[in-house]
């Protein structure tokens, strides 16, 4: 009886040690997080309760007014629109990205890396360059416009650039890989026999998809949704460049506070609110999306 | 990206400077707009005086302010726009310039001096100036465009690019209403609102960085833009005409100033005097087609440079911006609201 | 229609054209599945090569073979995950070659079990019923039945990750059985279990199959498992059926060297045919080891024969027994195997044999290296598997 007890003690001891080393190994990451995530967020949090002086410098006197200002219908409306744009972007990325990711995940391993590479290649090119490429594609005298007119599918020049449609195109283009990659990971892990079992048990391909494949790739879908939804709410470059800055999103408003308006406390309040929204979204999705394995 | 590169460059320079301490090399730290001071001007200055110029850049007055007030770096020279000069003077952040060291100040045209931002001309020296006016693609727009009322008549809805600058946009409406452009009050905002409600939906693109792009691409036909952009457009294609709105226009003046506590004040004044030399000033004009306030330098310009209406427009009613302090929040809210509603 | 337990009839059905499905209860021995010249190629690789196979209603048939022999492909063809390159597959007389898996009355137990991790045990088992639109009340009833059948009653609300390997295996079984398939396909379902549990499950599966009367097609590479469980075994080798027969037929009368070697242990010996007088044939296994077999086992005119002798069929004694086919040898190696002793015996002429002898009293330690012993083999235990 004593022998097994001794071995249990040993294993517990053996477990304790690696945990200590584990923390040690995590130190650089924790340090990085503390220095570049926690600390700036704390500063932002403090600023959000401060005021600005005539020169736009932050003055440390407590006020709720920055948060009160967010509830001004002007900014609330922009929050609402940002959510809507980000939601639409996420939905489109999911609709376009899921089949692609699934296809790549289910293709033979030898071809998989090539296909993944194709998804990643755009990242090798600067974001601004790619955005300007889109501008020259979409502009009234651009390639797509001339092509459509040449094919007599369009009578006038294409009027997409500097519209919300262009913003959505830009957002979907920018964030599509962030949807594809996590779903790919889920699809790749999906055991083929799960799909065969579903078919074997009488599920048509459609029902096998909805009843088995979809639930089993849910972790990838949720990760993808988070990775696309959250940054697309805050995106300002695409809105400026492809949307002609006509319809501001919350990212543009925040950017403006730290730039032209020189109202850091209000920008900080917007940022903190945005962060809180993100945390709530994450918590909500995580709670629901957890696959109980 | 460019910003990051330039700051890396600055770090490199700072390191270099630190290593050179033993040699006691003389230097001046210039914090200026990006693409504003030609490199050959800096090289010539070093050649003649042995003073090295460390040129760090910014993309907006606001960026410059946060760095300057943050106090992280010690700058000897900064290039703020007029309303920022005013704010800095008010806040006591500038050194008085010893004009005994700047004899070339005599070259600057009188119309650029004693402006509201520096009435006694104690703190600043005009570097370059310009206006905000209307660029018209005369191939597409046949009717004459004389002012903002023509731009926003409704005829060119969806064919207009303007600066993405909330205060600038508001002043167009205020001027049209005959109000003081520097009086930013809730009443002024309320008055401007109906005008802007009509105007903003007609704008296709807001772009401060490169409004020429959409004009060159043919996506819009009219622009309300910086004169510098208009000058480049005119050089590119003569079909782009530049008009100063008859209601009046914003005259901006970027000046050289010396921040309080600058470590190399005397050398900074040497640099200011150097810049004001006609043969040097003309180099700047050759590189960047802004309005040169240096009248002696203008004499050295080629006729076609002087003929560019965007660089040297015909006289008009010009006004410069004052600092509006906290009213910026009011402007931000108004324009954000109107843009969001469109 | 009467049921016919008679095996004679079974034989007749096998050779008669497929009968019309009976109106009443299934008749043991009727044809359930028929494969006619089924071939499956993947590119240049032929996984299944012109296989003809008849599977009877209610039988436990095992497809046995080493990995890569084509047995799994054969199973997948039956399930509908693959379509044959040529040939046809009939289930109860209907060609199903082009019917997708979800429209076949065939269910499979997967090697990995393929339990849906996002569903409870109950939901897993009900899955097939739900897909077939069985009403909820009936569904519940049948799930309960199935749970009881595999001794998992009361665990319906568990999540798959809360189950042991054996329990998951039972869930997979219940999930397939609850659909009442015509044929249950099992793809090495016991391979992930430990030896003891595996043996228990072998018997349990066998009993379950008897109890339900469902046709089982079982794939395994474990010959012992095949021998224990099957009514009939099809030994698969290189995409073909090497031998089809009952466990005893295959064990005692392997039709090929491959089968002899693959099933159990065998001494495969290249023998010279010395004489054949029509009653007995004389074979020389090696110098000093001559044996006689029934003449009928050797084709007239054959000069060489490959024979298989099971190690436990070699009778080892210290004194010369009064038996036919006896020769002398020396123990070269003795390996203790618990219940048995494995002996390597060298016969004078150089021939080496493996024999298995009952382990006698440990105190005496009966067999030692270097002992001279006599080997005797019964005529019927010398099986000619190849000759020329």
Which chain A residues touch B62 with a CB distance below 8 Å? 56, 258-260, 262
- For residue B36 the two structure tokens come to 């504003």
Q: Which of C100, C101, C114 sits opposite A193 (nearest CB)?
A: C114
Q: Are there at least 3 beta-carbon pairs closer than 8 Å between C and A? A: yes
Rounded to 5 degrees, φ, ψ at C320 are: -65, 120
Smallest CA-to-CA distance from B317 within B188, B133, B145, B121 is with B133
**Least-confidence region, from A179-193, C83-97, C275-289:** C275-289
> In this complex, does chain B touch chain A, defined as having at least 3 beta-carbon pairs under 8 Å apart?
yes
CB within 8 A of B90, min separation 6: which ones?
A54, B323
Query: In this structure, are residues B284 and B38 in contact, taking their beta carbons and an 8 Å threshold?
Result: yes
* Model confidence band, residue C289 (pLDDT cutoffs 50, 70, 90): confident
Place of tokens 């390997």: C165
Region C365-372: mean pLDDT is 80
What are the tokens at B327?
């009213």
Q: Angle at which helices A73-106 and A109-120 pack, to 10 degrees? A: 150
Number of H helices, E strands in chain B: 14, 10
**Chain A nearest-CA residue for C108:** A200
* Closest CA relative to residue B225, chosen from B249, B201, B198, B248: B249
d(Cα B149, Cα B69) in Å, to the nearest integer?
A: 40
Which pLDDT band, with edges at 50, 70 and 90, does C365 fall under? Answer: low
Q: Does A199 touch chain C (CB under 8 A)?
A: yes
DSSP state of B105: G
In whole angstroms, give the CA distance from residue B246 to residue B133: 10
Q: pLDDT tens across C255-266, in order?
A: 999 999 999 889
Average pLDDT of adjacent 10-residue blocks, chain B of 342 residues: 39 45 71 91 94 90 85 85 91 93 94 91 95 95 93 94 92 94 93 95 91 90 93 92 92 94 93 95 92 94 91 86 86 88 55
What percent of chain C has pLDDT above 70?
91
Selected residue with higher pLDDT from B152 and C316:
B152
Average pLDDT score over residue span C185-206: 91
Using the predicted structure, report yes or no on whether residue C167 has a pLDDT greater than 70: yes
Interface A-C: count of C-beta contacts within 8 A: 74
In sequence order, what E strands does B38-114 have?
Answer: 52-58, 77-78
The whole-number pLDDT of residue B205 equals 93
| Residue C16 pLDDT exceeds 60 | no
Q: Which of A128, A139, A245 sits opposite B207 (nearest CB)?
A: A245
**Subunits with 3+ C-beta pairs closer than 8 A to A:** B, C
Q: How far apart are CA C279 and CA C276, in angstroms?
A: 7
Query: Quick one: which of C124, C236, C114, C234 has its CA closest to C175?
Result: C124
Q: Tell whether A200 is within 8 A of chain C (Cβ).
A: yes
Rounded to two decimals, the ipTM of the complex is 0.82
Pairing relationship of beta strands B160-162 and B203-206 according to DSSP bridges:
parallel
Q: Where residue C7 falls among pLDDT bands split at 50, 70, 90? A: very low
Query: Under a CB-based contact definition with an 8 Å cutoff, are residues C312 and C321 in contact?
Result: no
Cβ atoms of A263 and A69 closer than 8 Å: no
Here the tokens at position C175 are 């999930």
Place of tokens 């900074």: B268
Considering only CB atoms, A204 lies closest to which of C102, C128, C161, namely C102
Neighboring chain C residues of A209 at a CB cutoff of 8 Å: none
What residues of B are in contact with residue A138 (Cβ under 8 Å)? none
Contact B165 A260 (CB under 8 A): yes
Using the Cβ of A210 and the Cβ atoms of chain C, whether some distance falls under 8 Å is answered with: no
Place of tokens 């340090």: A31
Structure confidence at residue A100 (pLDDT): 96
Strand partners, C184: C107, C216
| CB-based burial label for B172 (10 Å; 0-12, 13-18, 19+) | buried
Residue A191 contacts C, CB cutoff 8 Å = yes
The answer to whether B201 touches B157, Cβ cutoff 8 Å, is: yes
Strands C280-286 and C326-337, bridge-based pairing: unpaired
* C-alpha–C-alpha distance, residues B215 and B159, integer Å: 9
Can you give the pLDDT at residue B342? 47
């Amino acid at each position: 009886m004593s022998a097994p007890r001794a071995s249990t003690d040993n294993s517990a001891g053996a477990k304790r040690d690696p945990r200590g080393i584990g923390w040690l190994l995590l130190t650089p990451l924790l340090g990085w997080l503390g220095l570049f995530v926690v600390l700036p967020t704390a500063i932002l949090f403090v600023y959000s309760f401060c005021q600005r002086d005539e020169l736009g410098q932050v003055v440390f006197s407590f006020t709720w007014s920055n948060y009160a200002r967010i509830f001004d219908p002007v900014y609330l409306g922009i929050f609402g629109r940002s959510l809507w744009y980000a939601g639409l972007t996420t939905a489109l990325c999911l609709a376009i990205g899921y089949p692609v990711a699934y296809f790549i995940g289910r293709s033979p391993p030898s071809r998989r890396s090539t296909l993944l590479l194709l998804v990643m290649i755009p990242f090798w090119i600067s974001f601004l360059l790619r955005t300007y490429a889109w501008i020259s594609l979409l502009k009234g005298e651009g390639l797509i416009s001339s092509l459509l007119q040449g094919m007599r599918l369009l009578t006038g020049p294409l009027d997409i650039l500097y519209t919300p449609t262009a913003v959505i195109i830009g957002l979907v283009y920018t964030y599509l890989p962030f949807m594809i990659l996590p779903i790919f990971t889920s699809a790749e892990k999906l055991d083929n026999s799960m799909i065969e079992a579903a078919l074997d048990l009488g599920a048509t391909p459609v029902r096998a998809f909805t009843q088995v494949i979809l639930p089993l790739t849910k972790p990838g879908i949720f990760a993808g949704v988070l990775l696309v939804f959250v940054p697309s709410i805050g995106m300002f470059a695409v809105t400026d460049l492809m949307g002609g800055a006509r319809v501001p999103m919350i990212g543009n408003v925040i950017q403006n506070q730290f730039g032209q308006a020189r109202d850091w406390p209000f920008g900080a309040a917007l940022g903190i609110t945005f962060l809180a929204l993100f945390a709530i979204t994450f918590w909500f999705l995580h709670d629901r999306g957890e696959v109980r394995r | 990206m460019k910003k990051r590169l330039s700051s890396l460059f600055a770090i490199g320079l700072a390191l270099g400077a630190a290593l050179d301490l033993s040699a006691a090399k003389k230097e001046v730290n210039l914090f200026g707009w990006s693409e504003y001071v030609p490199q050959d001007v800096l090289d010539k200055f070093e050649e003649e005086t042995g003073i090295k110029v460390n040129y760090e850049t910014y993309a907006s007055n606001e960026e410059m302010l946060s760095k300057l007030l943050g106090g992280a770096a010690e700058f000897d020279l900064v290039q703020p726009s007029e309303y920022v000069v005013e704010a800095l003077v008010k806040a006591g952040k500038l050194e008085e310039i010893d004009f005994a060291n700047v004899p070339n100040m005599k070259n600057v045209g009188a119309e650029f001096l004693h402006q509201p931002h520096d009435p006694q001309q104690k703190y600043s020296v005009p570097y370059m100036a310009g206006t905000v006016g209307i660029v018209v693609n005369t191939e597409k727009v046949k009717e004459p465009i004389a002012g903002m009322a023509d731009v926003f008549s409704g005829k060119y809805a969806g064919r207009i690019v303007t600066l993405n600058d909330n205060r600038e946009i508001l002043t167009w409406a205020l001027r049209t209403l005959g109000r003081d452009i520097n009086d930013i009050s809730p009443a002024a905002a309320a008055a401007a609102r109906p005008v802007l409600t009509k105007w903003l939906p007609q704008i296709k693109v807001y772009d401060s960085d490169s409004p020429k792009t959409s004009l060159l691409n043919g996506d819009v036909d009219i622009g309300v833009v910086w004169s510098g952009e208009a000058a480049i457009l005119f050089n590119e294609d003569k079909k782009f005409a530049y008009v100063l709105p008859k209601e009046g226009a914003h005259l901006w003046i970027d000046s050289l100033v010396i921040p309080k506590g600058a470590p190399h004040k005397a050398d900074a004044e040497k640099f200011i005097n150097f810049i004001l030399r006609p043969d040097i000033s003309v180099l700047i004009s050759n590189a960047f087609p802004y309005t040169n306030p240096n009248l002696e330098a203008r004499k050295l310009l080629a006729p076609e440079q002087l003929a560019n209406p965007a660089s040297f427009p015909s006289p008009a009613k010009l006004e410069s911006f004052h600092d509006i302090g906290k009213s910026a929040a009011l402007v931000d809210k108004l324009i954000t609201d109107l843009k969001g509603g469109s | 229609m009467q049921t016919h337990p008679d095996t004679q009839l079974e034989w007749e059905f096998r050779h008669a054209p497929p009968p019309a499905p009976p109106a009443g209860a299934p008749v043991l021995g009727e044809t359930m599945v028929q494969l006619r010249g089924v071939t499956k190629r993947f590119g240049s690789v032929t996984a299944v090569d012109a296989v003809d196979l008849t599977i009877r209603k209610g039988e436990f048939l095992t497809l046995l073979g080493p990995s890569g022999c084509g047995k799994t492909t054969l199973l997948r063809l039956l399930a509908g995950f693959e379509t044959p390159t040529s040939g046809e597959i009939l289930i109860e007389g209907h060609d199903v070659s082009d019917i997708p898996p979800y429209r076949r009355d065939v269910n499979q137990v997967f090697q990995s079990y393929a339990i849906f991790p996002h569903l409870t045990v109950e939901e897993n088992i009900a899955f097939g019923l739900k897909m077939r639109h069985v009403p909820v009340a009936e569904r519940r009833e049948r799930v309960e039945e199935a749970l009881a059948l595999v001794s998992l009653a009361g665990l319906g609300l568990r999540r798959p990750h809360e189950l042991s390997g054996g329990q998951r295996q039972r869930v997979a079984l219940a999930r397939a059985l609850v659909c009442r398939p015509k044929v249950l396909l099992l793809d090495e379902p016991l391979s992930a279990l430990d030896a003891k549990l595996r043996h228990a499950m072998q018997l349990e599966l066998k009993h379950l199959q008897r109890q339900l009367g469902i046709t089982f097609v079982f794939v395994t590479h474990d010959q012992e498992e095949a021998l224990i469980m099957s009514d009939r075994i099809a030994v698969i080798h290189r995409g073909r059926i090497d031998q089809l027969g009952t466990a005893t037929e295959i064990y005692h009368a392997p039709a090929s060297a491959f089968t002899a070697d693959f099933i159990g242990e065998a001494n495969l010996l290249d023998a010279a045919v010395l004489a054949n007088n029509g009653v007995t044939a004389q074979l020389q296994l090696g110098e000093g080891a001559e044996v006689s077999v029934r003449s009928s086992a050797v084709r007239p005119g054959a000069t060489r024969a490959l024979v298989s002798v099971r190690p436990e069929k070699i009778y080892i004694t210290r004194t010369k027994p009064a038996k036919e086919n006896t020769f002398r040898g020396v123990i070269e190696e003795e390996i203790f195997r618990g219940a048995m002793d494995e002996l390597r015996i060298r016969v004078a002429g150089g021939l080496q044999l493996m024999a298995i002898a009952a382990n006698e009293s440990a105190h005496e330690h009966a067999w030692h290296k270097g002992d001279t012993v006599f080997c005797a083999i019964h005529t019927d235990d010398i099986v000619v598997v190849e000759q020329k």
